Amino acid sequence: MHSRSVGTAHMSRIDKQLLKHLLELSRLDVPQKDRPRLLKDLSAILDYFEQLKEVRVEGAEPMSGGTLLTTVMRQDEIDIELKKKESGETGRVIEAFPEKKGTFLKVPPVF
């Protein structure tokens, strides 16, 4: 979903235009009157990030998770104990749907 940038990435400001774009990506809306304050807070936080510029990271592999475990796989088979444990769970998940028709999740029209 988020593409890696090629080219020259640089530390930057979030301006009104970029904030509008980020809000669209985030499926959020913030009232116009609250946006100057939000921009100010975000700027202060980005300024704080500037200090990372001075860290020399050559040779450091990106740490992408909290663990050194590599892909953990599970046998592709039905586990009777697990099935027992999960019994009734589907019903409770469906029950929690905000809107439903029978056992189907009801979604507003896309267009």
> 5: left (phi > 0), else alpha (psi -120 to 50), else beta?
beta
Contact residue for other proteins among 32, 33, 57, 77 (CB under 8 A): 57
As measured in angstroms, the least distance from the Cβ of 51 to other proteins is 6
Q: Which ranges of the chain does DSSP label H, i.e. alpha helix?
A: 16-26, 35-49, 80-86, 89-95
Q: Token pair of 90, please?
A: 């589907």
Binding of residue 38 to other proteins (CB under 8 A) = yes
Binding of residue 82 to other proteins (CB under 8 A) = yes
Binding flags for other proteins, 91-110, as an x/- string (CB under 8 A): -xx-xxxxx-----x-xxxx
